[in-house]
A and B are shown apart, each in its own frame.
Chain A
């Protein structure tokens, strides 16, 4: 097990290099130079050249990449010119907020998605299956940002139950209940789509597994149907569902960008969109790389879990 983890960690080095290289390459495609963006269009050519030299932008591409990579390795993500503070500080602060939102949504969609799929498969063609299938269909068809907006219209404007923006109330908030009140709508909107995807997958996987011969063996042994579904069929299905659950984390993270905009959530997605609009390249670069790294590590954790759940792959 430990050897596997170590091996996987080593094999992630090329992934990290690939990620940083792609991000760096894309960012270097940006026309114009950051110095002009920072100094404004009235800057003298001398000032621009000076700043470029100071930022290391006069060096060749590969060298600049290596310098940036070296800095990253030391935890130096550079300085955001639009916010005038270190990129990493801003990222860490924002990422906390994103983690609260995405993490909640992710737990919700994993739990309810699998549960819905399980029920749906076990009661195929019954009323509960039809109800779930219908809800799931809406889930995968509605844009999460639109759903968020409709939640605001209904729960904030019409019913005045829940706050529509931010993470905490500006006055007198800050406790856990306050956070929860702010979290409910965005987390629901964010998880709804992913729940649908997971539920569909779980249902079809369960149905496939239920046709397999070892399920027939379990029934031939006289095992109770509930146990056949849970201990036999679901035990196998989860091995298929888990990798998709890992990928789904990416979808939740992606969706959080929209939701953060709609609900004014002070997360990393909103930071990125703002940074793109202000052309704050270092902030975009840093943010993208940081989140991608987290995502890769998360998927490593999923793989380890997979290894633990499926003894057939231990030999690797």
Chain B
């Protein structure tokens, strides 16, 4: 609990809200004990006293009643009514939502259709109708506000419950023999709780406003009893002559609701897992470069025949104090017409490396902390945004992993293709359209005309990835970076995509950086391979050499544990242990803790990558064949 409050208060405004709200609550609770004038005692001769008068700190109203006293009693009443209404709405709404979401089927439609009908009323109409039926009065206003807000809770909670009811862990609880009721209470409820709390904290403010509103209209609390709303309502007649009688309760409502809203935001932030991961921050168009690197930019090197040359590149993910070193000191170059493979398991830093090359790593949290990326003789790391933008898609183009999520769902295929061209060159749209159709033909799409008009969701995964390839080819780039382009696809489709890529590569002499976790796929398409582990390149060389004569124990292990088809039943030899977590700082060989050939010295020093035969290896005791 204390931990939770600390989390909330991390948002400073929420802390402010907490303090405001807490003070008001304390005042409201202590009201009966404070030395106040009786709130309903009429003293007409002393009406409309201004604030700071004798005996009336905040003045008096049109009947000469003490405003401070009325304000505090009214606050107490408003808070009580608002919260009770919110609790009632929250309880019944959540109950309906959970049951509807979990049960599904007819129960769900019945409940949700009823809720829809309730939501078909602008909320105040329903509240007015209820008050009209029950008669004006604070209790009736409370009921009206509660009823009107039930649909809101029901909808929100149901939405989450529906997803959760299908979740694997609910299913496995069922398989473990739990009954429906027990699943609802022990498995579902704890997971819905945060949604209910968020919905509650964001609606309490509304509910207080709504009850105050009904009282303001004269339909809530009845004289002489007054909540903040009816104080405002009564003061309205004297608005022009004595505005202070209106301002005082108005400001109190404002303070309460603002306090609740601020606190509610804090609670939401604390409970929403996405915020903790920095997922609601706008990624800047260009990965941030660390201050030290900006101050001492890489020195321009000698030009050679490489399309792209990467030296000592390091990229971190920095979330608060936590630094995760995703890419550590990576160097390689891609020659013209060559396909270089970057292979590694998840977390090895291969994708982050690929994105770092044109500074596409989402930032925050990504930061490039060292290194240089050179395309021909242009240094990308200290280039301003506009120049990097001119390179992206024009000289370096990307193909991403999941073609469904990486194509814009609401733009037509044709639009997306022509945009890739019109971004970098001027010309008539018809020229771009013709070229786009031609490209679609090149990636063997049978009906380019029709596909141009289609949206991504209307196409199959294989078709979408063909479009991804066509889009990358749009500007005849010097280098194509393919980031796991076949991982999301079925094998038969993967074979087709690989064939297309391979043919295009040969026809057009493309240079490709191909990223994959699958050595078998690598073997199909790459001339050279770099194996990554824990953010480092541990071995690099010609594909055949690496596959047939791996020198790094990790590469050896990786090959031994990947099942091969055509080998029949086989025992795979797993690599023991788990990869290094990225934030661990490195002062030993990164693979030492899993290596079967480890020696004491491996744990004591950093290991440099060295050339060995035609390969480079980062190992003190590389595997040498006898």
A207 to chain B, nearest CB (A): 5
Residue of A nearest to B218 (CB): A277
Contact of B217 among A122, A221, A261 (CB under 8 A): A261
Q: Interface on A for B, CB 8 Å cutoff?
A: 14-15, 18-19, 22-23, 26-27, 29-31, 121-122, 124, 137-138, 140-143, 145-146, 149-150, 152-153, 156-157, 164, 204, 207-208, 210-225, 228, 232, 235-236, 239, 247, 249-251, 253-255, 257-258, 261-262, 269, 272-273, 275-277, 279, 281, 284, 288, 291-292, 295-296, 299, 309-312
Contact of B393 among A137, A221, A255 (CB under 8 A): A221
Interface-lining segment among B53-61, B187-195, B247-255, B430-438: B247-255
Which chain A positions have C-beta within 8 A of B420?
Answer: 221-222
Q: How far is the CA of A164 from the CA of B243 in the complex (A)?
A: 14
Chain B residues 192-248 with CB under 8 Å of chain A are: 205, 209, 212-213, 216-219, 229, 232, 236, 239-240, 243, 246-247
Q: A141-B258, A219-B392 are in contact. Are A295 and B120 (CB under 8 A)?
A: yes
B602 to chain A, nearest CB (A): 38
A254 x B123 contact (CB < 8 A): yes
Q: Residues 256-267 of chain B: 1 if any A CB is under 8 Å from the residue's CB, otherwise 0?
A: 011001100000
Instruction: Judge whether B423 is part of the interface by a CB distance below 8 angstroms.
Output: yes
Q: How far is the CA of A138 from the CA of B362 in the complex (A)?
A: 32
A124 x B281 contact (CB < 8 A): yes
Which chain A positions have C-beta within 8 A of B134?
Answer: 29
Instruction: Judge whether B170 is part of the interface by a CB distance below 8 angstroms.
Output: no
A221 x B423 contact (CB < 8 A): yes
Chain B residues 444-484 with CB under 8 Å of chain A are: 455, 457, 471
Interface-lining segment among B160-168, B307-315, B401-409, B506-514: B401-409
Q: Residues 269-296 of chain B: 1 if any A CB is under 8 Å from the residue's CB, otherwise 0?
A: 0000000000111110100000000000
Other than the known A140-B205, A143-B250, what 8 A-B pairs have Cβ atoms closer than 8 Å?
Answer: A141-B258, A208-B280, A220-B393, A221-B393, A221-B420, A224-B423, A276-B128, A312-B410
Q: How far is the CA of A39 from the CA of B123 in the complex (A)?
A: 32
Q: How far is the CA of A256 from the CA of B201 in the complex (A)?
A: 25
Residue of A nearest to B471 (CB): A221
Contact of B405 among A210, A214, A295 (CB under 8 A): A214
Can you list 29 A-B pairs, Cβ within 8 angstroms, ordered by A? A19-B121, A27-B132, A30-B132, A124-B281, A143-B213, A150-B247, A157-B240, A207-B280, A213-B405, A217-B400, A221-B392, A221-B423, A222-B394, A222-B424, A223-B419, A228-B285, A232-B408, A232-B411, A235-B411, A249-B122, A257-B128, A257-B217, A258-B216, A273-B128, A284-B129, A288-B126, A288-B128, A299-B120, A311-B457
A15 to chain B, nearest CB (A): 6
Q: A204-B280, A214-B406, A214-B408 are in contact. Are A224 and B123 (CB under 8 A)?
A: no
Q: Residues 105-123 of chain B: 1 if any A CB is under 8 Å from the residue's CB, otherwise 0?
A: 0000000011011111111
Give the size range of B's interface with the partner.
35 or more
B397 x A220 contact (CB < 8 A): yes
Chain B residues 376-410 with CB under 8 Å of chain A are: 385, 389-394, 397-398, 400, 402, 405-410
Q: How far is the CA of A124 from the CA of B283 in the complex (A)?
A: 10
Which chain A positions have C-beta within 8 A of B120?
Answer: 15, 18-19, 292, 295-296, 299
Q: A143-B253, A311-B455 are in contact. Are A288 and B125 (CB under 8 A)?
A: yes
Which chain A positions have C-beta within 8 A of B471?
Answer: 221
B236 x A288 contact (CB < 8 A): no
Instruction: Judge whether B327 is part of the interface by a CB distance below 8 angstroms.
Output: no
Q: A29-B133, A220-B360, A258-B217 are in contact. Are A236 and B410 (CB under 8 A)?
A: yes
Q: A211-B283, A250-B122, A258-B213 are in contact. Are A146 and B246 (CB under 8 A)?
A: yes
B122 x A149 contact (CB < 8 A): no
Which chain B positions have C-beta within 8 A of A212?
Answer: 405
